[in-house]
């Protein structure tokens, strides 16, 4: 197989990536990270692929970073290898991707789900940052992304107690976009992904870039960034096509140019 710890399947314009370490509840070790970096880079570089879904198993999206791999390491090794630093290669993905979460999304599992453009959750999903119970903290961006997603109070309570949040709470807190019955999770995620994949590709990247800018900048700068990208799309064929198609009451045919 192409990868050791993940399964990759292309269905039309959608790439489905399934974490596949069932014996460890998809715990995220270095090999998983290496496989995901390669798979996401291949997705980003493949013009035939327009959206990606990352999922786990029914029982666990991922039960965290691999505790057994980390436990013996010291500061010099962690700092020297910039342990977890590779995840920024995953978050550098320019094209859209969705996390489809069933079962446990704990620690690093919750953190990876929060790296996605959005989370679709099964009603069986459970989110948590239990690192405090191991004597540490989140290390893949969880404290920052959880605080941005659900606000200080809930993020602080989750990190300080290590408790789990169920799907209903995650939805009402704004952590996930939508909750669906567990049996239909993958179908629904693939359907949403196919809908995104059918949009003008440059507009998809631009929409993603500008929503992400909201987490990095002031309102005035973010609005200017949005405006300039919006202006820029008027230099594309797909803007002409999209607006002509509307006027002519037909679906747009995109070129990605
Ligand atoms: C390594 C793990 C693992 C993990 C589970 N396993 N989670 N291995 N790292 N994070 C392994 C178990 O050791 C076990 O292997 C097998 O997966 C099945 O797990 P069980 O515990 O037997 O299953 P269950 O009783 O159903 O309990 C499920 C669970 C529990 C509640 C999710 O596994 C659990 O609490 N896992 C750890 C959750 C956690 O603390 N995550 C945060 C990790 S730290 P064997 O060989 O015994 O069958 C992290 C932080 C990153 O992510 C940032 C800095 C540290």
Average pLDDT, the chain: 98
pLDDT at 1 over 90: no
Instruction: Give the residue, out of 28, 56, 61, 64, with the most ligand 1 atoms within 8 A of its beta carbon, to mutate for a pocket test.
Output: 64
The residue-averaged pLDDT of 74-80 equals: 97
Specify the pLDDT at position 79.
97
Smallest Cα–Cα separation from 18: which of 59, 57, 50, 51?
A: 57
206 ligand 1 Cβ < 6 A: no
Residue 66 neighbours by CB under 8 Å, 6+ apart: 24, 27, 28, 29, 32
In this predicted model, what pLDDT tens digit does every residue of 81-102 receive, in sequence order? 999 999 999 999 999 999 999 9
Ligand 1: distance of its center to the CA of 218 in Å?
Answer: 39
Percent of the chain with pLDDT over 90: 99
* Distance in angstroms (rounded) separating the CA atoms of residues 237 and 202: 10
Ligand 1: distance of its center to the CA of 217 in Å?
Answer: 36
Q: What stretches of 72-208 adopt beta strand conformation (E)?
A: 97-101, 104-106, 118-122, 126-128, 164-166, 178-180
Catalytic residue among 65, 100, 113, 116: 65
Helix (H) or strand (E) holding 35: helix 30-45
The residue-averaged pLDDT of 56-74 equals: 97
The per-residue DSSP string of 97-119 comes to EEEEE-SEEETHHHHHHHHSSEE
Query: Which band of pLDDT confidence, cut at 50, 70 and 90, is reported for residue 221?
Result: very high
Residue 105 neighbours by CB under 8 Å, 6+ apart: 56, 60, 61, 62, 99, 112, 113, 125, 126, 127, 128
62 ligand 1 Cβ < 6 A: no
Report how far apart, in Å, the C-alpha atoms of 96 and of each of 59, 65, 124, 217 are: 25, 24, 24, 21
Beta bridge partners of 24: none
Asked if residues 115 and 90 have their Cβ atoms less than 8 Å apart, the reply is yes
ipTM value: 0.95
């Amino acid at each position: 197989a192409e990868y050791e710890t993940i399964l990759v399947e292309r269905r039309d314009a959608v790439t489905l990536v399934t974490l596949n370490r069932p014996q460890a509840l998809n715990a995220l070790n270095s090999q998983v990270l290496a496989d995901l970096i390669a798979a996401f880079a291949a997705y980003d570089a493949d013009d035939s692929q327009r959206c990606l879904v990352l999922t786990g198993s029914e029982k666990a999206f991922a039960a965290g970073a691999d505790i057994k791999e980390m436990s013996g390491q010291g500061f010099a090794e962690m700092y020297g290898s910039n342990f977890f630093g590779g995840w920024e290669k995953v978050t550098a993905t320019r094209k859209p991707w969705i996390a489809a979460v069933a079962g446990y999304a704990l620690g690093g599992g919750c953190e990876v789900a929060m790296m996605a453009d959005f989370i679709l959750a099964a009603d069986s999903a459970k989110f948590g940052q239990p690192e405090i119970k191991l004597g540490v903290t989140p290390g893949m961006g969880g404290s920052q992304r959880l605080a941005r997603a659900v606000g200080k109070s809930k993020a602080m309570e989750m990190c300080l107690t290590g408790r789990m949040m169920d799907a209903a709470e995650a939805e009402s807190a704004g952590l996930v976009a939508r909750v669906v019955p567990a049996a239909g999770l993958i179908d629904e995620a693939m359907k949403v992904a196919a809908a995104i994949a059918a949009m003008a590709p440059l507009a998809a990247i631009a929409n993603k870039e500008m929503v992400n800018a909201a987490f990095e900048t002031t309102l005035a700068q973010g609005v200017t960034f949005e405006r300039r990208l919006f202006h820029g799309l008027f230099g594309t064929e797909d803007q002409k096509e999209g607006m002509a198609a509307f006027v002519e009451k037909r679906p747009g045919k995109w070129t990605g140019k």
